[in-house]
Structure 1
Amino acid sequence: MKLSRLFTCAVSSLLIPVGASAAVPKVVADIAPIQSLVSQVMTGVGSPELLVQSGASPHTYSLSPSEAESLQQADVVFWVGEPLTPWLEGSLENLSGDADVVELLEVPGTTTYAFRKGATFESHEHHGEHEGEEHHNDEQHDDEHNGEAHHDTAGEEHHHHHDGLDPHAWLDPVNGKVWLDAIAGALSQEDPEHAAVYARNAEAGKKKIDAVMADVQATIDELGAQQFIVFHDAYQYFEKRFGIAAAGAISIGDASKPSPARIDEIRGLVSDLKVSCVFTEPQYNPGIVRSVFGDTGVNTSAVIDPLGSDLTVGADLYPELLTSIAGSLRSCFGGGA
């Protein structure tokens, strides 16, 4: 019996893939774009679990028992931060007390913006040479200057100071590159054995993002000035990085139900600016868009998605997400698929 067990163990060890290790950490990421970035860094080593499943809104989500168990077993958790998933903060404290929890909005060098106020954005765009200016390690959050960028310093008490912060920061691919390095660093601390792999993968991921950014910029440049409205204010990071601006949003940044006054303001904007596209999102009922704008002649069939719900979860999702947003804009404005 003892020899039989030894033989079984020897055979089992031969079946373990080359490069696999019992020390590989259990990793959880909150949303698909973050899971994609982590997957890029972990390529050849392991695969992170996704917490908020594709097609669901991260603003309001209820963990399943299996998802709660994943948090409880995690060695490292990557999440955007409390402004995106306020419900997750308590779960992390209760279930992931022993894990290394990395809040990406707090990573030094991350460009962040305050939410834009009001249903229309035109007054917050085109601020001249200061528009989109980056302030590395700037302690001034200046939320009263909507749309102004700032960078959080590391190690400071920002935990309860996210009011007014737009959390959709992954839609700036420069943030994606910053986060690849942060992800590689956190994983290397947890798993030094694979530190060289993580660093190499992060560098490869940044090069891929650079290539996608060039393609997306070319697409946006071809579109020229266009007037469009988004379902909720989730895209200013993409807009500011690539030089395109939505005229307004039906709902505020957390995608809560718009007020009648806000709807009236948006309808007026469609007429005044001759808006050609109003984008829906797969996470939300498109009926509200059609009911509000169905008689205005504006295109309400276009879809734009900040999470990549129709993309395959994994390492390729993040660059494909950026490409798909540019493609949605081009398609709606008559430039083809």
Structure 2
Amino acid sequence: MVLMNVKLRASLAVAAATTLVLTACGSPSSGSTGGEGPTVIAAFYPLQWATEQVLGEAEGTVEVLTRPGGEAHGLELTPRQIASLTESDVVVYLDGFQPEVDTAIAQTGSERALNVADVIELAPIAEAHGHDEAEDEHADLDPHFWLDPERMGTVVEAIADRIAEASPEQADTYRANAASAVEELNALDEEYSTGLSECVRQEFITTHAAFNYLAERYDLEEIGISGINPDGEPSPARIAEVHEEAKRHGVTTIFFETLTSDAMARSISGDLGLKTAVLDPLEGVTEESPGDDYPSIMRANLEALRSANECN
């Protein structure tokens, strides 16, 4: 971690010089709504989607730090991105999920930042996944709140309130847009509740244990192979446990995600004669994603779970 901090301090020094350039020329953006309204930086895709819903057709710009296809957990900021944090009106992030973002916000000033962990309750990883994650780099709390539409709605409303503070002349528009987004999320929640209410089994196996919030909300049980870290390597003992769990519960499918290798899923499924399928943790959207935005990917996940768990 010392090396990372040295590199980040160097980037901050370059960022100070870059700030003047950004002020004159403007910052690179992703998901811009255009116009002269507030500039909002979202740390990764689910926060980008939520922010875009709040801005709607109002003037403003949304920029995202984690590029499509990038690994959100291990994001490394460029000097230009760090400088953009000082130029934005609002920064939306999740403390503890992306260490470089946390450090940059602490060193560039947090008065414009919204930490969404302050408005929702995050579950401890050990409690969420039923085994020790003490050696994992995200060992305290499970960050994947966005896979619960109810929590996502709370975050949308908090983003609207924060942007309204930065741009009060459009406050009513932001809050109305947020209400529409929450209505859409409530409909999605109802689809999940109905679609997963009558299934042959509640258990599902994933290579990346990212789906605790979804499982908790819809009375499912996630069996994670490698824990919360998508790049983690399970021990032989853990693989043996997964084999036994799959047999005990009659599991039909091993789920993997689009941003990491499917080798582990295919190896275990081959051993057990099971299928593999994508269950997307929605940390980013790429051409390989099973949809093109948050709602469509969530619905693709629902259909994948319904198929694997043989739901009516």
TM-score relative to the length of structure 2:
0.77
Whether 1:103 and 2:115 are equivalent positions in the alignment is yes
Query: 1:188 and 1:231 mapped to 2: Cα distance?
Result: 40
User: How far apart are 1:276 and its partner, in Å?
Assistant: 1.4
Task: Give the letter for the 1:61 counterpart.
Answer: L
Q: Which moved more, 1:270-279 or 1:304-313?
A: 304-313
Query: 1:70 and 1:305 mapped to 2: Cα distance?
Result: 29
TM-score relative to the length of structure 1:
0.72
Match of 1:278, SS state, is: strand
Q: Which contiguous aligned blocks of 4+ residues in structure 1 show a shift greater than 6 angstroms?
A: none
Residue pairs, 1:144-183, within 5 angstroms: 163-183=139-159
Q: 1:41 aligns with which of 54, 77, 83?
A: 54
Change (3 A) 1:99 1:28: farther
Change (3 A) 1:64 1:294: farther
User: How far apart are 1:260 and its partner, in Å?
Assistant: 2.8
User: How far apart are 1:274 and its partner, in Å?
Assistant: 2.6
Match of 1:27, SS state, is: strand
Match of 1:309, SS state, is: coil
Task: Give the letter for the 1:43 counterpart.
Answer: G
Which residue number in structure 2 is paired with residue 113 of structure 1?
Answer: 123
Residue pairs, 1:210-221, within 5 angstroms: 210-221=186-197
Match of 1:290, SS state, is: helix
Q: 1:85 aligns with which of 73, 87, 98?
A: 98
Residue pairs, 1:1-337, within 5 angstroms: 22=36, 24-45=37-58, 46-82=60-96, 84-94=97-107, 96-97=108-109, 100-107=112-119, 110-116=120-126, 121=130, 163-246=139-222, 248-255=223-230, 256-300=232-276, 302-307=277-282, 309-310=285-286, 317-333=293-309
Q: Percent identical across equivalent pairs? A: 29
Q: For residues 194-223 of structure 1, what are the alpha-carbon distances to aligned partners after superposition, in whole Å with 9 as ceiling and x for unaligned?
A: 111111111111111111111222211243
Flag the structure with more relative contact order, 1 or 2, with Cα contacts below 8 A and sequence separation at least 6: 1
Structure 2: runs of 5 or more not aligned = 1-32
Query: 2:248 and 2:200 mapped to 1: Cα distance?
Result: 19
Please report the RMSD computed on the Cα atoms of aligned residues, expressed in angstroms: 3.0
User: How far apart are 1:69 and its partner, in Å?
Assistant: 4.2
Match of 1:228, SS state, is: strand
Query: 2:146 and 2:34 mapped to 1: Cα distance?
Result: 30
User: How far apart are 1:192 and its partner, in Å?
Assistant: 0.8
Q: Which has the higher helix share?
A: 2
User: How far apart are 1:56 and its partner, in Å?
Assistant: 2.6
Task: Give the letter for the 1:201 counterpart.
Answer: N
Structure 1: runs of 5 or more not aligned = 1-18, 124-142, 144-161
Query: 1:327 and 1:70 mapped to 2: Cα distance?
Result: 39
C-alpha contact 1:277 1:299 (8 A) present in aligned 2: yes
